[in-house]
Structure 1
């Protein structure tokens, strides 16, 4: 497991990402601005940084450039933004970011990006087309996007294969009621959440809205029920 620094000026975003990443077994450190991020990076040397672009003092792109020009970009950085564009994503990767996540960040996108960013440096460089001497091969004209939008631009990580389209959600199901109440309730709740995940294409944000749960509570509930979150991933195109 890794030490991950989350840098975002929004308390809710920091809390949500910390909750999810901690549940995955990572050690999470938080910073709300560039000054705090510099301090944590110097003191702890995190294995990965999730860095917001729009912050009140120094923006994330400027901090990324600063780390790069001063030789401090020794860890992978994933940029985040709720107002990102293709140009922003390209600029971020040009200055050393390994991926770009557009807010609201779905659970699947977050965990996939973190997993890919934490591969060993040699593997990441090889996948990015960087020669042993440090020279980067020319980037292709097109980059991978999720769902046809710049939700995640990844350098150093090959796009995952498009999974088979799952069958549509079934609103009517039958349940075995000849069992203890708790087991029957858990079976119903699992089917209920699987239905909404399939209907919303795996979007935790939309499922939280539909079911009336906080995203953190929803995430805990799905893990408790053993819901397979990977089954409802959207394909990468």
Structure 2
């Protein structure tokens, strides 16, 4: 899971990218101006920034230059625009942008670009790698993971992760792991959506959406404040 900052003055674009990237398991922060983007960049240190070129007051190219000159361009930046020229795209790349997305942004193009960009992010750790690096606990822990995941039997383990997961397509394997992960969190957190939200860093709305997509029953927690 990565933290991604979306900077765009169009609410529709921010909401669309937020929905798509959140469904992919990322944490999304949205900014409608360069001023907001500066603040979030300082406070959250995102793994990736999707930056619109044409914005009122301070445009994306100017903000990119600012980050580059002040040594704040420590994360990959992908520029976005529906009216940019080739010269603009070249300039953005020269300044330090990693890639360029043309609006309207196609779903597969967005996901492919984000995945590629995160590979170059010094702060981001690919979830699969992160799982492999997890320490192996007792054999009872392995059984708990296998029983919790409503998926294929664990079989052999690689650093505590069911080897079966590695034989599945990435998305299917990730969904199975996330289902097991969230079901485990619901058990140890006593079903508290507030605690799970705080622990995972997901907003409650996004958390409920994620759990629903994974087929996890949250009806008993609907009344929780």
TM-score, length of structure 2 as denominator length:
0.54
1:93-116: CA deviation from partner (whole Å, max 9, x where unpaired):
000000001100000110011000
- Give runs of aligned pairs for residues 205-224 of structure 1, distance below 5 A: none
Report the equivalent of 1:43.
43
Offset of 1:84 from its aligned partner? 1.2
Taking a change above 3 Å as real, the CA distance of residues 121 and 25 of structure 1, as seen in their structure-2 partners, is closer
State the Cα RMSD in Å: 1.5
- Conserved 8 A contact 2:47-2:121: no
Report the equivalent of 1:96.
96
Moved over 4 A (4+): none
Report the equivalent of 2:6.
6
1:16 equivalenced with 2:4 (yes/no): no
1:26-70: CA deviation from partner (whole Å, max 9, x where unpaired):
000000000000000000000000000000010000000000000
Distance 1:19 1:99 in 2: 21
Specify which structure has the bigger relative contact order, considering alpha-carbon pairs within 8 angstroms and separated by 6 or more residues.
1
1:176-196: CA deviation from partner (whole Å, max 9, x where unpaired):
xxxxxxxxxxxxxxxxxxxxx
- Conserved 8 A contact 2:4-2:29: yes
Distance 2:109 2:99 in 1: 11
Question: Which structure: greater helix fraction?
Answer: 2
- Give runs of aligned pairs for residues 33-182 of structure 1, distance below 5 A: 33-121=33-121
Offset of 1:85 from its aligned partner? 1.3
Taking a change above 3 Å as real, the CA distance of residues 121 and 23 of structure 1, as seen in their structure-2 partners, is closer
* Count of aligned pairs between the two proteins: 124
Unaligned runs of 5+ in 2: 123-208, 214-225
The residue matched to 2:6 in structure 1 has which SS? strand
1:107-134: CA deviation from partner (whole Å, max 9, x where unpaired):
0110011000000457xxxxxxxxxxxx
TM-score, length of structure 1 as denominator length:
0.51
Distance 2:121 2:106 in 1: 25
Taking a change above 3 Å as real, the CA distance of residues 2 and 121 of structure 1, as seen in their structure-2 partners, is closer
Distance 1:36 1:121 in 2: 22
- Give runs of aligned pairs for residues 186-201 of structure 1, distance below 5 A: none
Unaligned runs of 5+ in 1: 123-219, 225-237
Distance 1:14 1:121 in 2: 22
